[in-house]
Structure 1
């Protein structure tokens, strides 16, 4: 449960990220790691925008972390900025050779799985996913994810951005329904350790997906285990402002949330829409 009881010395908690440690773990001395490059900057407008601009240079598996970003964007172009030294703000540039274009929609969900795993492993906070990729703690938003496509030909090139609130205080939160690891009494607030676990887990998930021939069955199974939306009564606002109410009963192999309407009839698979959790089914 969130608490207002936490250390007041935020300076000691907001130590800078350790780029050398991250490179040693994620790239490796001989380049044996998943990533080819890891950079940390003090400030930028948007780590996603920076890597989208760099995509034309042919890079792959590049990581950019920022201590602060002043022009971040979330879904639906919502603004998303940071507090210096208080968040993990990271983007990854990937070339997904041979990945079918119709499967790219699974990448944001994969990011969500990796984020939940890292938060649980490092901090002990019981994070879960709200479909499609909001990372929540008891209904409060802890992290956001934005995946953008740089190009699709001759191969898919994407940038995956993840932002996790680490030492934000209540007055720092962008909305009252957000939270941070500090407010959730996390066992560990080391941002370098959290970023290391997040990126290592993300790389492992991408490798496993590629080995599976980009098949989504394994990803779907993992996602279902992490998703708190399944089993809840929900309201979905669909494109065109159509409303659908019912119980979320599954996430299918295409990553769509499947809702059994309150009005009866066959379950409806929703590919895009704003979902609100209403109550336990």
Structure 2
């Protein structure tokens, strides 16, 4: 029996019934398996370890609590049990060009934003490359890790979504949760279904488009709150770039027009801070 009545456990059976294919003719479901565990170190690490089984595909793993959750650049994060959705998905992509694998976290960002706008009814947007913001504060993070490059590319995509975390429980003042943001629902079963269905929709559309990135890039730009902002980008090697975020190119890079009129720079890796027009970080 769980002790916090405001944070009930996920209903694994109901999630499987809604999301997992039961037969080849089932048009509603996309995933081959879905497991919910009470506690683990990292759902991404668990699926990466299982990915050595080349038959494992479209597998979902959700944890009620992670004690070694990981974000970009190996940053750690921990949330109270059942206060978030911590989910990872293993996907294999026969025919995907290896150069396009960098689009997976951005594609996932599109899926998360669409799910939150539709079901939670919040004004979610993307901060390049793959943070999800509400009102300028981070509500979800995404980590995509390569599981294999041959015989077919495979990736494990992890999403951490803050659902009922309170102000007092926030790890940093720049974070938020759906509850704090006044979302229409904080039911984690509803949110998990919406998120995973949105991811399946984006993946299937990309696959049907022959893994072309033009449409994906357009969809990303339409949801990216970084574009048009004055930003500071912390680059590898302790370098810094300040200017206007002008575009996201077909390689998924953020294109910044530096202050002072220097030529635009396409950045593939770096930490972005949105800046106020005349002051420091927002």
Name the CA shift for 1:255/1:280 in 2 (closer, same or farther; >3 Å).
Answer: farther
Worse-superposed segment, 271-280 or 96-105:
271-280
| Contact 1:182–1:189, Cα closer than 8 Å, also in 2 | yes
Q: 1:89 corresponds to which residue?
A: 86
1:234 paired to 2:231: yes
User: 1:74: how far off?
Assistant: 0.8
Determine the C-alpha separation between the residues in 2 that align with 1:180 and 1:217. 32
| Contact 2:43–2:63, Cα closer than 8 Å, also in 1 | yes
Q: 2:44 corresponds to which residue?
A: 48
Match of 1:156 among 150, 153, 156: 153
Q: 2:18 corresponds to which residue?
A: 25
1:218 paired to 2:215: yes
User: 1:42: how far off?
Assistant: 0.6
Determine the C-alpha separation between the residues in 2 that align with 1:38 and 1:220. 29
Match of 2:104 among 107, 122, 138: 107
> Unmatched 5+ residue regions in structure 2?
none
1:35 paired to 2:28: no
* Superposition CA RMSD, Å: 1.4
User: 1:30: how far off?
Assistant: 2.2
User: 1:11: how far off?
Assistant: 3.1
| Contact 2:165–2:179, Cα closer than 8 Å, also in 1 | yes
| Contact 2:79–2:165, Cα closer than 8 Å, also in 1 | no
Q: TM-score, normalised by structure 2?
A: 0.93
User: 1:199: how far off?
Assistant: 0.4
Q: How does 1:50-89 map to 2 (within 5 A)?
A: 50-58=46-54, 59-89=56-86
Q: 2:162 corresponds to which residue?
A: 165
Report 1 or 2 for greater relative contact order, CA contacts < 8 Å, sequence distance ≥ 6: 1
Worse-superposed segment, 128-137 or 259-268:
259-268
User: 1:138: how far off?
Assistant: 1.4
